[in-house]
Amino acid sequence: MGKLVFVFLFFSPCINSFSQSNVSAHIYKKIDSISLDFKLYKPDSFNENEKYSTVILFHGGGFNTRYENQFRRHAKYFNSKNFISITPVYRIKSLHGTSAIESCDDAKDLIDYILLNAEKLNIDKNKIFVGGGSAGGLLALSTTFWNVGSNIVKGLILYNPIVDTGPNSAFSKRRSGKYNLDISPIHNLDKNFPPSIIFHGSLDEMEPINKIKKYKQTIQEYGVRCDVIEYPGQGHSFFNSQEFFVKTSREVDKFLSSLGYLKN
């Protein structure tokens, strides 16, 4: 284990395709020579005297590959709904020799950092949503149970998430039978989970749709809302295309509106 250092606000040059005042980078964690950061996207109408609903979006990549810009257009979409958007990086195998457990640790520490710095970041701590795709979907889920004292997440927005890392799971089979129940969402469900919406393809082989249906059935037994929208003929990561970015974003609108977090 490396030495863990929490870092306060750090700003870097902004992303070219966005207004200079709307995007900033912040280091949220340091372990020895490793620095982990996130990009924060502000609404065009940002007012420094206001606090904003916020969505955190974890990229996918099987805990091995970094796709740090995967959710850039989603970030701007949430900006259009007057949300702050956050897209973090985390430790991955190809760069750091780590496993999914370390990635979950990073997701937890990111949440801790954001709560600690919410005032400076203009974030409303009572209106935080978390989402992600594939492995990032598992990380989003982990923020509701992995070493969590009290759950502050108000809703989960999940794009073909990995929901099972237990024995005989698709996750385990890709890792020669290795599994981990501690970070397996479907094995850690309880009544304290927030409502969620899941977008999934019927032909997904990375996490079969039947496992998603089982997840929904199990979480609903605790009285927790879980909307699953299945897209026929679609495989893993289908949501990255423009067509399904639009379709899933419309459903996110409906989901957030039903929870009372969108006025229109």
Question: Is the CATH number 3.40.50.1820 carried by domain 40-258?
Answer: yes
Amino acid letter for position 117: N
Instruction: Judge if pTM exceeds 0.85.
Output: yes
Q: Give the pLDDT confidence of 72-119 residue by residue, as tens digits.
A: 999 999 999 999 999 999 999 999 999 999 999 999 999 999 999 999
Task: Please state the domain extents for the chain.
Answer: 40-258
Residue 264: what pLDDT? 62
What dihedral do alpha carbons 78, 79, 83, 85 form, nearest 10°? 80
pLDDT in tens, 120-157: 999 999 999 999 999 999 999 999 999 987 789 999 99
pLDDT digits (tens, 9 = 90+) for 41-75: 999 999 999 999 999 999 999 899 899 999 999 99
Q: What's the half-sphere exposure (Cβ side, CA atoms, 13 Å) at 8?
A: 4
CA-to-CA separations, 103 to 36, 227, 237, in angstroms, rounded: 11, 26, 20
| Nearest alpha-carbon partner for 226 in 144, 152, 150 | 144
Mean pLDDT score, 180-188: 96
- 40 pLDDT above the threshold of 60: yes
9: confidence class by pLDDT, cuts 50, 70, 90 = very low
How many CA atoms within 13 Å lie on the side-chain side of 163?
28
